[in-house]
Amino acid sequence: MSGSKSATRGSSRPPENGASPRGRYWRLLALSLGSAAVFAVLFYLWGRELFPRAAGRWGATFPFVGAVALTLAVALFLSEWFGFAGREVRKVRLAARDFLFLCSLALLLFFAAKAVIDLLAEIPALGRGVPTRVYAYLIPLPAFTMVVRVLINSETSILFTVAASVLSAAAAAGSWPALLFLLLSGTAGAARARRVPDRYRMLMAGVQTAPVCALAAAALEFSFHGGGGVLWAGIFGAVNGLLSGPIALAVMPVAESAFGYASDIRLMELSGTGHPLLSRLMMETPGTFHHSVVVGTLAEAGALAIGANPVLCRVAALYHDIGKLGKAQYFSENQAGAANVHDAMSPGLSRAVILSHVKEGVRMAGEFRLGDRITEIIAQHHGTSLLYCFLDKARPMIRDRKASEEMFRYPGPKPKTREAAIIMLADAAEAAVRSLDRPAPQEVDETVTGIVNRVYLDGQLNECDLTLRDLHAVGRAISQVLAAVAHGRVDYPEAGKGAV
Ligand SMILES: [Fe+2]
Ligand SMILES: [Fe+2]
């Protein structure tokens, strides 16, 4: 197990699967070239001030040679920057989707910066009292870095701040104060968007960014140009910070819809039982719904114990077994009082039905656009663990070599994030304790410890950032909540025997 302890947006970003380092490099290079070509076209269309004479004797051929050279330079910068970080920092191994998202944001920022600067320069009343250079302090980079931190993670938001600052400083004719302001304000915005479970928190992150932006703008204006535009620089810096919350709130739903991300705000919206999937779960499979709510409570407690994301744990747990919809009777939590349908089925058929709930859950998550974080957890919540309940029944088949033990494993993948691992543990612990009759707290504790040990020894936690200390803390938190739930079940007094 890794010893990593960082908690960014709360969920670690797993490395890309199935891509060799060489394959990743070529893919990153191809994406960089594509993105850089778009940048080059935009710079050529709007950035004539950047290339006033288009480099002497090559001037006449700038549209061709200049654009190609600029494309190569930007591509080199992006591949080196994100390639190096991806090799050295586990959480910056970006998927193609992330890279496209970041490039789209950088392009949008460039558009926004040009629009702000050009539009304000058109207002004559404003132009008289305000030096045009201070318009650069309105470039809305803090809003964008906040979005990156909330939707991806803090490591990526730092890298994006630097790359986007360099690229969008071109909109302000590449001035040093603008570049330094962008670096500082982008970092300040990202730093204040740590946990954003609702819109109010996002607006407050912007409000807290405003004084930093105002101070930075005023100081840079004074140090590079003297006292003339300091007041306006401060005002524009403050406005930039204040607007970063609303702008981020406007950009996020579009990014979530277009790229399949799920912010904590979106997760909170998904946690209401008004969502069609949760309503169906409640009406058609009440046993699974109850199991999911309990797993959510346990996982939330586990996440709080180790500084993982409690919102993600609770909401993903609500949806982790949606694949059971339509097959309620095959799962033990829905069989209360009824005969076990698996008694009349072959172990192979039972296995197929049970295993299918993961794949079906992933399909439904995609259909209902639950977002990448919930979908990944649904896919990983059983890892490659064994179907213990059917293994004994299948022993004769395994002995006769008609089946193998490996056939009774879930297909995986194993949990890649701490949140997925916590849900795996909570899920298994809830099922095990549910099968006990009125367990004492010590019995609950022993059962949970047994489950945690089994999951660990089976290698299910090999691919996530959970330390042994984390594992112990999660197990203890789950066992405390489960013991309280089990202990809280008191007999309801029979009618006429003291009921109030
Ligand atoms: Fe499940
Ligand atoms: Fe479950």
Distance 402 CA to ligand 2 centre (A): 29
Cα(29)–Cα(10) distance, integer angstroms: 29
* Ligand lying closest to the C-alpha of residue 431: 2
Distance 301 CA to ligand 1 centre (A): 19
pLDDT higher for 35 or 253? 253
Q: Per-residue pLDDT averaged across 474-500, rounded?
A: 69
Predicted local distance difference test score (pLDDT) of residue 122: 75
| Residue 285: pLDDT over 50 | yes
Predicted local distance difference test score (pLDDT) of residue 488: 56
Q: Are 183 and 160 in contact (CB under 8 A)?
A: no
Cα(57)–Cα(88) distance, integer angstroms: 42
Distance 283 CA to ligand 1 centre (A): 18
Report the chain's mean pLDDT, rounded to a whole number. Answer: 82
Distance 324 CA to ligand 1 centre (A): 8
| Residue 155: pLDDT over 70 | yes
Is the N-terminal amide bond of 131 cis, ω within 30° of 0? no
Distance 427 CA to ligand 2 centre (A): 5
Predicted local distance difference test score (pLDDT) of residue 145: 95
Q: Per-residue pLDDT averaged across 371-390, rounded?
A: 90
CA distances to 114, 179, 218, 219, 226 from 230, in Å: 22, 17, 5, 8, 8
Cα(363)–Cα(359) distance, integer angstroms: 6
* Ligand lying closest to the C-alpha of residue 380: 1
Of the pLDDT bands very low, low, confident and very high (cuts 50, 70, 90), residue 49 is: low
Cα(369)–Cα(255) distance, integer angstroms: 13
Predicted local distance difference test score (pLDDT) of residue 15: 43
Distance 483 CA to ligand 1 centre (A): 22
Q: Which string of DSSP letters, residue by residue, matches 86-143?
A: HHH-GGG---HHHHHHHHHHHHHHHHHHHHHHHHHHH-HHHHHHS-GGGGGGG--HHH
* Ligand lying closest to the C-alpha of residue 285: 2
pLDDT tens sequence across 82-128 = 778 777 777 767 777 888 888 888 888 888 888 888 777 777 666 66
Distance 438 CA to ligand 2 centre (A): 21
CA distances to 116, 187, 292, 298, 444 from 484, in Å: 57, 43, 17, 11, 10
| Residue 498: pLDDT over 50 | no
Distance 321 CA to ligand 2 centre (A): 5
Distance 292 CA to ligand 2 centre (A): 6
pLDDT tens sequence across 325-369 = 988 888 888 877 777 788 778 878 888 899 999 999 999 999 998
Ion ligand 2, residue ranges at CB < 5 A: 321, 427
Range in 70-84, 278-292, 434-448 the model is least confident about: 70-84
Of the pLDDT bands very low, low, confident and very high (cuts 50, 70, 90), residue 469 is: very high
Distance 320 CA to ligand 2 centre (A): 6
Range in 107-111, 291-295, 362-366, 493-497 the model is least confident about: 493-497
Distance 293 CA to ligand 2 centre (A): 10
Please report, rounded to a whole number, the percentage of residues in the chain having pLDDT higher than 70: 83
Phi, psi of 27 (to 5 degrees): -65, -40
Distance 320 CA to ligand 1 centre (A): 6
Distance 95 CA to ligand 1 centre (A): 26
**Range among 64-78, 216-230, 283-297 with highest mean pLDDT value:** 283-297
Distance 197 CA to ligand 1 centre (A): 26
Cα(492)–Cα(500) distance, integer angstroms: 11
153 three-state secondary structure = coil
Distance 432 CA to ligand 1 centre (A): 13
* Ligand lying closest to the C-alpha of residue 288: 2
* Ligand lying closest to the C-alpha of residue 382: 1
Distance 331 CA to ligand 2 centre (A): 10
Distance 361 CA to ligand 2 centre (A): 11
